Amino acid sequence: MGLLMRPLRPGDRDPIARLLEATAVFRPDEVVVAMEVVDAGLKTGQTDYSFAVAEVDGGLAGYACWGRTPCTQGTYDLYWIATHPSHQGRGVGRALMDAAERGMRADGGRLCVIETSSLPQYEPTRRFYLSLGYEESAVLKDFYLPGDHKVIFTRKL
Protein backbone atom coordinates (compact mmCIF):
# COMPACT_ATOMS: atom_id res chain seq x y z
CA MET A 1 0.00 0.00 0.00
CA GLY A 2 1.53 3.31 -1.11
CA LEU A 3 0.24 5.72 1.56
CA LEU A 4 0.91 9.44 1.03
CA MET A 5 -0.13 12.19 3.46
CA ARG A 6 -0.61 15.65 1.98
CA PRO A 7 -2.50 18.93 2.41
CA LEU A 8 -6.03 19.57 1.12
CA ARG A 9 -6.27 20.55 -2.57
CA PRO A 10 -9.23 21.97 -4.57
CA GLY A 11 -9.60 18.70 -6.50
CA ASP A 12 -10.30 16.86 -3.22
CA ARG A 13 -13.76 18.33 -2.74
CA ASP A 14 -15.78 15.82 -4.77
CA PRO A 15 -13.76 12.76 -3.67
CA ILE A 16 -14.26 13.78 -0.02
CA ALA A 17 -18.02 14.13 -0.57
CA ARG A 18 -18.11 10.66 -2.14
CA LEU A 19 -15.98 9.24 0.71
CA LEU A 20 -18.33 10.66 3.36
CA GLU A 21 -21.34 9.17 1.60
CA ALA A 22 -19.57 5.82 1.15
CA THR A 23 -19.03 5.45 4.90
CA ALA A 24 -22.82 5.19 5.35
CA VAL A 25 -22.38 6.64 8.84
CA PHE A 26 -22.97 10.35 8.34
CA ARG A 27 -26.46 11.78 7.86
CA PRO A 28 -27.00 13.97 4.77
CA ASP A 29 -27.06 17.13 6.91
CA GLU A 30 -23.73 16.13 8.45
CA VAL A 31 -22.21 15.68 4.99
CA VAL A 32 -23.42 19.18 4.09
CA VAL A 33 -21.65 20.62 7.14
CA ALA A 34 -18.48 18.64 6.41
CA MET A 35 -18.43 20.02 2.88
CA GLU A 36 -18.96 23.56 4.15
CA VAL A 37 -15.85 23.06 6.30
CA VAL A 38 -13.92 21.70 3.30
CA ASP A 39 -15.01 24.74 1.27
CA ALA A 40 -13.85 27.05 4.07
CA GLY A 41 -10.56 25.14 4.23
CA LEU A 42 -9.96 25.70 0.53
CA LYS A 43 -10.17 29.49 0.84
CA THR A 44 -6.81 31.17 0.49
CA GLY A 45 -5.49 32.58 3.74
CA GLN A 46 -7.99 30.93 6.07
CA THR A 47 -6.57 29.81 9.41
CA ASP A 48 -9.58 28.21 11.12
CA TYR A 49 -9.13 24.71 9.72
CA SER A 50 -6.18 22.45 9.01
CA PHE A 51 -6.40 19.29 6.92
CA ALA A 52 -4.50 16.12 6.19
CA VAL A 53 -5.45 14.04 3.17
CA ALA A 54 -4.45 10.40 2.81
CA GLU A 55 -3.83 9.02 -0.66
CA VAL A 56 -3.38 5.33 -1.36
CA ASP A 57 -1.99 4.45 -4.75
CA GLY A 58 -3.05 7.85 -6.10
CA GLY A 59 -6.64 7.81 -4.83
CA LEU A 60 -8.14 9.69 -1.89
CA ALA A 61 -8.44 7.21 0.99
CA GLY A 62 -9.31 9.53 3.88
CA TYR A 63 -9.00 12.93 5.43
CA ALA A 64 -8.88 14.68 8.78
CA CYS A 65 -9.77 18.24 9.74
CA TRP A 66 -8.87 20.01 12.98
CA GLY A 67 -8.62 23.50 14.42
CA ARG A 68 -8.01 25.54 17.52
CA THR A 69 -10.84 25.57 20.03
CA PRO A 70 -11.93 29.20 20.43
CA CYS A 71 -11.22 30.89 23.77
CA THR A 72 -8.68 28.25 24.86
CA GLN A 73 -4.91 28.09 25.04
CA GLY A 74 -3.56 25.07 23.20
CA THR A 75 -6.80 23.08 22.92
CA TYR A 76 -7.73 21.69 19.53
CA ASP A 77 -10.85 20.03 18.17
CA LEU A 78 -10.69 17.18 15.70
CA TYR A 79 -13.66 18.22 13.59
CA TRP A 80 -13.71 15.43 11.02
CA ILE A 81 -11.92 12.22 10.25
CA ALA A 82 -13.09 9.69 7.71
CA THR A 83 -11.52 6.77 5.89
CA HIS A 84 -13.06 5.20 2.83
CA PRO A 85 -14.55 1.80 3.75
CA SER A 86 -12.21 0.04 1.31
CA HIS A 87 -9.23 1.35 3.28
CA GLN A 88 -10.51 0.93 6.85
CA GLY A 89 -8.43 -1.32 9.09
CA ARG A 90 -5.27 -0.68 7.06
CA GLY A 91 -3.66 2.10 9.10
CA VAL A 92 -5.04 5.05 7.14
CA GLY A 93 -7.04 6.41 10.09
CA ARG A 94 -4.06 6.03 12.41
CA ALA A 95 -1.84 7.87 9.91
CA LEU A 96 -4.42 10.66 9.65
CA MET A 97 -4.58 10.99 13.45
CA ASP A 98 -0.77 11.07 13.62
CA ALA A 99 -0.70 13.85 11.03
CA ALA A 100 -3.42 15.81 12.83
CA GLU A 101 -1.70 15.49 16.22
CA ARG A 102 1.67 16.50 14.71
CA GLY A 103 -0.01 19.57 13.22
CA MET A 104 -1.66 20.44 16.53
CA ARG A 105 1.61 20.08 18.47
CA ALA A 106 3.50 22.14 15.88
CA ASP A 107 1.02 24.98 16.51
CA GLY A 108 1.35 24.77 20.29
CA GLY A 109 -1.42 22.25 20.89
CA ARG A 110 -1.56 20.59 24.29
CA LEU A 111 -4.97 18.89 24.25
CA CYS A 112 -7.09 17.27 21.53
CA VAL A 113 -10.86 16.99 21.96
CA ILE A 114 -13.01 14.69 19.83
CA GLU A 115 -16.81 14.54 19.89
CA THR A 116 -18.79 11.66 18.44
CA SER A 117 -22.12 9.92 18.62
CA SER A 118 -23.16 7.12 20.96
CA LEU A 119 -25.16 5.34 18.24
CA PRO A 120 -24.20 1.72 17.53
CA GLN A 121 -22.77 2.50 14.08
CA TYR A 122 -20.17 4.71 15.80
CA GLU A 123 -18.90 1.90 18.06
CA PRO A 124 -15.92 1.14 15.77
CA THR A 125 -15.06 4.86 15.81
CA ARG A 126 -15.17 5.00 19.60
CA ARG A 127 -12.97 1.87 19.83
CA PHE A 128 -10.55 3.49 17.39
CA TYR A 129 -10.15 6.57 19.58
CA LEU A 130 -9.62 4.42 22.67
CA SER A 131 -6.99 2.37 20.82
CA LEU A 132 -5.08 5.60 20.16
CA GLY A 133 -4.91 6.44 23.86
CA TYR A 134 -7.86 8.82 24.02
CA GLU A 135 -10.05 8.62 27.08
CA GLU A 136 -13.78 9.02 27.27
CA SER A 137 -14.03 12.25 29.26
CA ALA A 138 -17.74 13.03 29.15
CA VAL A 139 -21.12 11.95 27.83
CA LEU A 140 -23.84 14.52 27.18
CA LYS A 141 -27.12 12.62 27.25
CA ASP A 142 -29.60 13.06 24.40
CA PHE A 143 -27.38 15.70 22.78
CA TYR A 144 -27.89 14.95 19.09
CA LEU A 145 -31.39 13.55 19.50
CA PRO A 146 -33.20 11.47 22.13
CA GLY A 147 -31.07 8.40 22.76
CA ASP A 148 -28.08 9.73 20.80
CA HIS A 149 -25.54 11.06 23.27
CA LYS A 150 -22.44 13.13 22.55
CA VAL A 151 -19.37 11.18 23.64
CA ILE A 152 -16.31 13.36 24.25
CA PHE A 153 -12.81 11.94 24.05
CA THR A 154 -9.64 13.77 25.05
CA ARG A 155 -5.92 13.18 24.94
CA LYS A 156 -3.01 15.30 26.07
CA LEU A 157 -0.64 16.03 23.25
129, part of any domain: no
**Quick check: 2 pLDDT over 90?**
no
Residue 37: inside a domain, yes or no? yes
* 34 within 8 A of 80, measured Cβ to Cβ: yes
CB atoms within 10 A of CB 64: 26
**Exposed (0-12), middle (13-18) or buried (19+): which is 134, by Cβ within 10 Å?**
buried
Q: Is 89 left (phi over 0), alpha (psi -120 to 50) or beta?
A: left
Whether 58 is covered by a domain: the verdict is: yes
Q: Which domain holds residue 79?
A: 3-114
> What DSSP line would sit under 69-98, residue for residue?
PTT-SSEEEEEEEEE-GGGTTTTHHHHHHH
Question: Does residue 74 fall inside a structural domain?
Answer: yes
Q: What CATH number did the domain enclosing 51 receive?
A: 3.40.630.30
The structural domain count of the chain equals 1
pTM for the predicted model, two decimal places: 0.94
Is residue 1 pLDDT above 80, yes or no?
no
93-134 pLDDT, tens digit each: 999 999 999 999 999 999 999 999 999 999 999 999 999 999
Q: Does residue 45 lie within any of the structural domains?
A: yes
